[in-house]
Structure 1
Amino acid sequence: MATLHGNWVKLDQRGITQGARSSHAIAVVGQKVYAFGGEFVPRVPVDNKLHVYDLDTLTWSVADVSGSIPPPRVGVTMAAVGETIYVFGGRDVEHTELNELYSFDTKTNTWALISRGDIGPPHRSYHSVTADDRHVYVFGGCGVTGRLNDLWAFDVVDGKWVEFPSPGETCKGRGGPGLTVSQGKIWVVYGFAGMEVDDVHCFDLAHKTWAQVETGGLKPTARSVFSTCLTGKHIIVYGGEIDPSDQGHMGAGQFSGEVYALDTETLSWARLDDKVESGGHPGPRGWCAFASACRGGREGLLVYGGNSPSNDRLDDIFYLALAQS
């Protein structure tokens, strides 16, 4: 039976770097990584520039943009559908939860405000998004009155939001969960629901039904704000907060540096053999920006920045190249 494994590579950074930060987001279009939002000081948004990192030249630049530019924010999410990036929610400098949906056309470098207010999901931050070839899915996060467990989809063709049925109390409201779409299902993995949790849920897009998933194998411990991607039938989980700080978001909790994979067919977890190919291992961290990417012909997980066990914001970029043997 084939075994999934990964090799870590620390990527060089040239040009005008975005700088150390956490609670930011990235999206990948082709060989370009688009980075937005985040904090260096807890709860204080850094800027609203759109920074672009070229995976071929390993060079940063700042995009010359036009249109309705989103204000600075933390706890924001990004997802790409084709050559368009969608940015949703977050928390502004006044610590107010947001619910605007913006698009960014990477061909014209133009921002557009798509929805806000009573249209679309309620205000939130530290939620999760994933996308397929037509939809951007939004789940959970920290809302105005507490943690959320609602699931929404934005149809990029019709330009409309759809709210799906609630999962009910079996899937508690949570921030920082993993979210992927695979085999016609939306998978909600772990998260923070007043405590770190280790449950997995999925929503069947065809039947519009929720189910709690009983997983086996070598399960990772409960965690949130980890980095994740999908490769084939496997959901990859790296790092994350395994024990929150007594100071809440102002402090650093305990973080993991391990990599796990959940087989969405057998529903079995396995710890990945993740070796260092060059530049070192990213180590324990959470609150990173992350995305699926392809580099050197190999699919993998791109991880940028985040928060460290010493409560220092990080500015490095690592790529976990995945393969089966």
Structure 2
Amino acid sequence: MADVLCTVKLRVPESLGVCHVAVGQKVYSFGGTKTDLYLNVHVFNTVSLKWTKVFPRDDTCFKDNREVPCMRWAHTGVVVDNVIYILGGRRLEFCINVLHAFDVDTHTWLHTEVSGTVPEARYFHSACVSGKVMYIYGGLTEHGGRTNDTYKLDTTTMVWSLTETRGTAPPASYGHTASIIGTKMFVFGCGSGNDRDHNTVRVLDTETNHWLTTPFQEPNSVAFAYNGELYTFGDRDTGGNRLPRRIRHLWKSSPETLSWKQVKPKGDGPFPMFGGSCCVVGDRVVVFGDDVFFGGGDFAYILDFSPSLKTLCQLAVLQHGLEQSELPHDIREELAAMTVTDDHTSTSRSKAVAERFLSSSWPVWRHF
């Protein structure tokens, strides 16, 4: 396949413990570890690379006399028909199991009434969606107990059910990610306290409810599905190095064979992250994470599988140091984002990245 690039690095409002959901060309960000009363909602435009806050804390926080959900972290969300469903999370001393629904067209919170077997309150679980069905797996419960149960919510009837699975279920897990391709759910990075579990991919066939297990080459827990294939990369430094070591490659596989091969993106990828997450937006993957081990703060990266002509032109401007004063304001803002100083090296990285990018084919890391 063609190569991949990281060209931009931008700070984000917050990434640790935040739920990110892609809708069209935008990524919605909910919550985090801040102590605000209400659940923060920010929107990232992946075209302009700009963040906006949806709700100031005023009368727009209310609809039909119902408050927006309380602030939380380590929750999950999926989108079905332009409605984002948020479940779980933790706020200070308690866990949450209430389902919330956010309408992306009107930017309002909707009243939800569910029935059936509702999942126990949890956080650091995973959520993914197949059609109109939301799947929840694992997580930590109120007092820190790990779980390995699977629930599903039919959003057409709003009925929860516990999935009775067969085969060898994964160990009780948290901090993992899950992706669905077709009828199979792939779980990466099972955090059971045993490092060997990080080297295993668990697969649940949602038609037969049967678990399968397959080994993997190295610890990984951030995963996504793109163009019918699975991609994953590690979110922690396993080399024992004192200096930060960037993530230099991805792994990809066909969901049928689970035969893995390395993909080496161009550009500087992220450092190992804690609580990493990612959203697929067209031919780009937006990766969020906190470079917590190296003091890097909250950042996001773009993995670009098919850079646009606009992106290529911007990189050419950076590579050759061309004059920018006559360019449109929004283009200058994006170029400024692409030339952010790297906190880990204290040097500007734009020209070197542009040179590596323009001398390669794709896909590519964009670091913002």
TM-score (norm 2): 0.71
- Per-residue CA deviations over 1:14-52 (Å, capped at 9, x if unaligned) read xxxx53441111111111211011226xxx679621011
SS in structure 2 at match of 1:104? strand
User: 2:224, 2:231 within 8 Å by CA — same for their partners in 1?
Assistant: yes
Query: Cα distance 1:170–1:155, how it changes in 2: closer, same or farther (>3 A)?
Result: closer
Counterpart of 1:251 in structure 2 is none
Separation in 2 of the partners of 1:28 and 1:195? 32
Q: Which stretch shows the higher mean deviation, 196-205 or 30-39?
A: 196-205
Q: How far 1:118 moved relative to its partner?
A: 8.2
The structure with the greater share of residues assigned to helix is 2
Separation in 1 of the partners of 2:91 and 2:115? 15
Q: How far 1:322 moved relative to its partner?
A: 2.8
Separation in 1 of the partners of 2:177 and 2:258? 15
Counterpart of 2:119 in structure 1 is 121
Query: Cα distance 1:181–1:117, how it changes in 2: closer, same or farther (>3 A)?
Result: same
Counterpart of 2:281 in structure 1 is 293
SS in structure 2 at match of 1:175? coil
Counterpart of 2:357 in structure 1 is none
One-letter identity of the residue aligned with 1:27: V
Counterpart of 2:303 in structure 1 is 320
Instruction: Specify which of 4, 7, 11 is matched with residue 6 of structure 1.
Output: 4
Q: CA RMSD in A?
A: 2.9
User: 2:291, 2:297 within 8 Å by CA — same for their partners in 1?
Assistant: yes
User: 1:63, 1:109 within 8 Å by CA — same for their partners in 2?
Assistant: yes
One-letter identity of the residue aligned with 1:180: S
Q: How far 1:141 moved relative to its partner?
A: 0.6
User: 1:10, 1:316 within 8 Å by CA — same for their partners in 2?
Assistant: no
- Per-residue CA deviations over 1:207-227 (Å, capped at 9, x if unaligned) read 222222x34xxx44234xx43
- Per-residue CA deviations over 1:140-191 (Å, capped at 9, x if unaligned) read 0112351111111111111111221145764111002221111311122232
Separation in 2 of the partners of 1:4 and 1:165? 41
Matches within 5 A, 1:162-311: 162-166=161-165, 170-196=169-195, 197=197, 198-212=199-213, 214-215=214-215, 219-223=216-220, 226-241=221-236, 257=247, 258-276=249-267, 280-294=268-282, 299-310=283-294
User: 1:188, 1:201 within 8 Å by CA — same for their partners in 2?
Assistant: yes
Counterpart of 2:19 in structure 1 is 25
Matches within 5 A, 1:49-88: 49-64=40-55, 65-67=61-63, 68-88=67-87
User: 1:187, 1:200 within 8 Å by CA — same for their partners in 2?
Assistant: yes
Q: How far 1:78 moved relative to its partner?
A: 1.6
1:112 aligns with 2:103: no
User: 1:149, 1:167 within 8 Å by CA — same for their partners in 2?
Assistant: no
Identity level (%): 22
Counterpart of 1:158 in structure 2 is 157
Q: Which stretch shows the higher mean deviation, 110-119 or 136-145?
A: 110-119
SS in structure 1 at match of 2:274? coil
User: 1:259, 1:274 within 8 Å by CA — same for their partners in 2?
Assistant: yes
Q: How far 1:104 moved relative to its partner?
A: 0.3
Query: Cα distance 1:51–1:267, how it changes in 2: closer, same or farther (>3 A)?
Result: same
Separation in 2 of the partners of 1:285 and 1:154? 30
Separation in 2 of the partners of 1:167 and 1:318? 38
1:37 aligns with 2:34: no
Question: Aligned pair count?
Answer: 292
Query: Cα distance 1:161–1:5, how it changes in 2: closer, same or farther (>3 A)?
Result: farther
SS in structure 2 at match of 1:194? coil
Q: How far 1:58 moved relative to its partner?
A: 1.8
Query: Cα distance 1:211–1:304, how it changes in 2: closer, same or farther (>3 A)?
Result: closer
SS in structure 2 at match of 1:309? helix
The structure with the greater share of residues assigned to strand is 1
One-letter identity of the residue aligned with 2:42: H
User: 1:227, 1:286 within 8 Å by CA — same for their partners in 2?
Assistant: no
One-letter identity of the residue aligned with 1:227: V
Separation in 1 of the partners of 2:111 and 2:245? 36
Q: How far 1:255 moved relative to its partner?
A: 8.3
Q: Which stretch shows the higher mean deviation, 3-12 or 125-134?
A: 3-12
